[in-house]
Structure 1
Amino acid sequence: MSLRIAADNFPTLPVGEMENFVVVREYDEGRDKVAVEEMERSCEVGQRGKHSLVTDLMGDPICRVRRFPSHVMLVAECGDGGEIVGVIRACVNTVRTRESSGYVKLAYILGLRVSPSHRRLGIGTKLVQEIEEWCKQKGAEYSYMATDCSNEPSINLFTRKCFYTKFRTLTMLVQPVHAHYKPLGSGIAIIQLPPKLAEAIYCRVFADAEFFPKDICTILSSKLNLGTFMAVPKKALPKWDPKTGILPSSFALLSVWNTKEVFKLQVKGVSKLTYACCTGTRLLDAWMPWLRLPSFPDVFRQFGVYFLYGLHMEGKNASRLMKALCAFAHNMARDDDGCGAVVAEVAQRDPVREVIPHWRRFSWAEDLWCIKKLADEKLDDVDRRCGQSDWMKHGSSSPVIFVDPRDI
């Protein structure tokens, strides 16, 4: 999401001066928590149009990477007083490459923030370099980051100064939660799959998908995972026995991840007229749900989102089944107080992209992923730019990228 990276792109101090000016060290919760929260609140996060979309990290600044077995958070201290002026997070996981049999250790860098009063000093660059060293020590072969394509400062920092390569562009689809329930369609059965069965099916249908995590079982058994659901035609249900391992001829599949326990969002800066109009649509929808008005949820207070991942469909009824699953997930969110939107992120060539319901105004088509091979220290800068593996040089063998919900 565009909330992930908000970095600076400014001239740096000479290396010697920077080393004396800033000290980067690992985050200490008891010592740094309050200062990090204050520093992050001072940063602009997720600026989109005239409104500011901000995050609340739920009292634990490291919670967004803690779901990974291998994770870290670094802070940058400035001057003798030890003022915290920057922060960065990273986690390392084992994922599948474009070759179905290949796995690599991949680091994900996120949450880079630099205090507005200390930008143009190269602090963002130093934080990235330090966290890359940590990732290499943990065995990571690659590292990547994700940001909105319009976030030029972050893109310039990573591609020009840190030698990342533009890798894939994904689409973020956002569906507001309405006051009414969405119909699921007739003749469709929706089944919740037990984690073990869900794991077996995912390993099969995502056999060629990039970024598919080796520890998918950990994700499916997490308390933040609200379930994996499959939609099939009711007439096919008596014929399907999951014990055989044979999938129905037509089905759709997705899992639902609850981000409310990790972070919350809030829209600020709207006019009184806009606020009144949005409130009015919600009231009308609640009073006359049969009209199925496209009401606007209360996003002016803190709200959470449900993230849909592992979306897959097959068969002649696949589109209809996937739409029913998305409606089912919307209705789950409708029953969860404080959930304001249902979100999915998919590759641009993924067939499910055209089926997922969303509001175009609140979605964005270009969530850019940049990647870097963590080269050997002996290589010079030219080699770092050119020494990419076949995985990065060639196009993807599959139109599908598995988006790990822990990355969101």
Structure 2
Amino acid sequence: MSMKIAAESFRVPLLEVVVREYDEERDKAAVEELETRCEVGQQGKLSLLTDLMGDPICRIRNFPLHVMLVAVYREETELVGVIRGSIKTVTSGKEASNGVPVYEKLAYILGLRVSPTHRRLGIATKLVQHLEEWCNQNGADYSYMATDTTNEASIKLFTKKCNYLKFRTPTLLVHPVHAHYKPLSSGTTVVRVSPQLTESIYRQVFTNSEFFPKDIDQILCNKLNLGTFMAMPKLSLPKWDPMSGTLPSSFAILSVWNTKEVFKLQVKGVSRLTCACFAGSRVLDNLMPWLNIPSIPNFFRPFGVYLLFGLFMEGKGASRLMKSLCAFVHNMARDDDGCGAVVAEVGQRDPVRKAVPHWRKFSWAEDLWYVKKLAPAKREEDGGCGPSDWIKSQSCSSVIFVDPRDF
């Protein structure tokens, strides 16, 4: 972190609250306890999973610039709120006159929690304001946050009190990991792609997309990245020279991020009958795997997920290649104990959306992204889009690159 934020005291009804940076030695246990009392999602909703955080700062540790703030009161004897933030440089979906992608310095806000006994006292608003101040001090042009359509409290806080605007609505696609393996399409081959070649490919195909991170090389070399894989027709393999820099005429590519090392998820509040039905599907699938029964994992205990990112396809039969690639990753997850689902988040107009297998019941049609401008719009001579800013301008791409570190 390049800068410290000064602790500030302010008054809310009956409380004196201090917002300061997280201190692992004295705050870790209290933050973990707060997380368990602030469950994410709704009881009984299979499409909303409950976040079971481990290390409080693990979700932002992979960003070079990050911070976690806590709200405490009673002379710092009780921790009543927490918020996390990170800053990265990403593409805005626009192309400058010289052909170079337009980058923006973007802050991501996540993990806002306030103790259930201390809500409606202005603590959440103050946490957001303090985090925005830190983002401003560190040069962020914009900040954004993501939530789902059912989180009315979060939407109201960010839109009514903090002046955020609805920006993008990507789709979250979830596919359970079955007890049986998925067959790959005949005539298709899957190859592993090195991080160096992946970086070159991604910088080429995602040049005009939105939210593509400038430090993609750091993501691809991260220990949580399980690798990048490309599917292509078997006849193309002998003809394709990866060292040439030329892509195959038909291919699909994606990378896999292991969220199991960061957090676990769990479904709560469902009926015993539903639990029994899910268990029955797994028993049948184990006893008769040749039937390919679409069994449902045990979502009622903590489980991890594989996140697909960098999804791109091109050429004849590309949709079939992408489906084979997703089946390949499903089989990877099948061999990983405790991995319950494969997840992908893509733009609503992204062509890969229709090619990624998913279960509608477990997926979100709209994952709401809200954004706020923290700095004046850049001038065209400074590499910006002219008088209009990113929020008001229309993207020239249907592709949203989802950074796995945000998930």
1:53 aligns with 2:42: no
In the alignment, the residues of structure 2 paired with residue 189 and residue 370 of structure 1 have an alpha-carbon distance, to the nearest angstrom, of 39
Unaligned runs of 5+ in 1: 1-14, 377-387
Matches within 5 A, 1:243-282: 243-282=243-282
- Deviation of 1:271 after TM superposition, in Å, equals 1.8
2:62 to 67, 71, 75: 67
- Report how far residue 53 of structure 1 moved: 3.0
More displaced 10-residue stretch of structure 1: 72-81 or 225-234? 72-81
Q: Does 1:29 align with 2:50?
A: no
Q: What percentage of aligned pairs have identical amino acids?
A: 68
SS in 2 for 1:163: coil
Q: Displacement of 1:390 after TM fit?
A: 2.5
Q: Output aligned runs, 1:375-386, within 5 Å.
A: 375=375
Letter in 2 for 1:218: Q
Q: State whether structure 2 residue 87 is matched by structure 1 residue 87.
A: no
Corresponding letter in the other structure for 2:363: S
1:403 aligned to 2:398? no
Post-superposition CA distance 1:181-232 (Å, at most 9, x none): 0001111010100000000000001011111000000000111000000000
SS of residue paired to 2:212: coil
Please show how residues 126-275 of structure 1 align to structure 2 within 5 Å: 126-275=126-275
| C-alpha contact 1:323 1:355 (8 A) present in aligned 2 | yes
Deviations 1:20-43 (A, max 9, x none): 721100000110011111111111
Structure 1 residue 98 displacement after superposition: 1.8
**Structure 2 unaligned residues grouped into runs of 5+:** 1-9, 96-100, 377-386
Q: Specify the SS of the correspondent of 2:182.
A: coil
Q: TM-score, normalised by structure 1?
A: 0.91
Aligned match of 2:7: none
Q: Distance in 2 between matches of 1:80 and 1:242?
A: 61
Separation in 1, partners of 2:147, 2:308: 19
Alignment correspondent of 1:99: 94
Q: Is the 8 A contact 1:373 1:389 kept in 2?
A: no
SS in 2 for 1:47: coil
The amino acid across from 1:112 in the alignment is L
Give the letter for the 2:52 counterpart.
D
Do the aligned partners of residues 80 and 140 (structure 1) sit closer, same or farther apart at CA in structure 2, a change above 3 Å counting? same
Alignment root-mean-square deviation, CA: 1.7
8 A contact 1:233–1:251 mirrored in 2 = yes
Q: Quick one: distance in 1 between partners of 2:12 and 2:403?
A: 39
Alpha-carbon contact 1:171-1:345 (below 8 Å) kept: yes
Corresponding position of 1:380: none
Structure 1 207/143 Cα, relative in aligned 2: closer, same or farther at 3 Å?
A: same
After superposition, give the CA deviation of every residue in 1:43-85 in whole Å (9 maximum; x if it has no partner): 1312265467322222x10000000000000000123353110
Structure 1 residues 390 and 180: CA distance shift in structure 2, 3 A: same
Q: In structure 2, how many angstroms separate the alpha carbons of the residues matched to 1:258 and 1:288?
A: 29
Residues 389 and 114 (structure 1 numbering): CA distance in 2 closer, same or farther, change over 3 Å?
farther
2:321 is the counterpart of 1:326 = no
Residues 172 and 365 in structure 1, CA contact (< 8 A), matched pair in contact too? yes
- Residues 188, 234 of structure 2: 8 Å contact kept: yes
> What is the total number of aligned residue pairs between the two structures?
383
Partner of 2:392: 393
Q: Is the 8 A contact 1:184 1:328 kept in 2?
A: yes
Residues 190 and 230 in structure 1, CA contact (< 8 A), matched pair in contact too:
yes
Is 2:364 the partner of 1:364?
A: yes
Q: With the length of structure 2 as denominator, give the TM-score of the two structures.
A: 0.91
d(CA) in 2 for partners of 1:271, 1:306: 27
- Is the contact made by 2:89 and 2:215 (CA closer than 8 Å) also made in structure 1? yes
Name the aligned partner's letter for residue 75 of structure 2: D
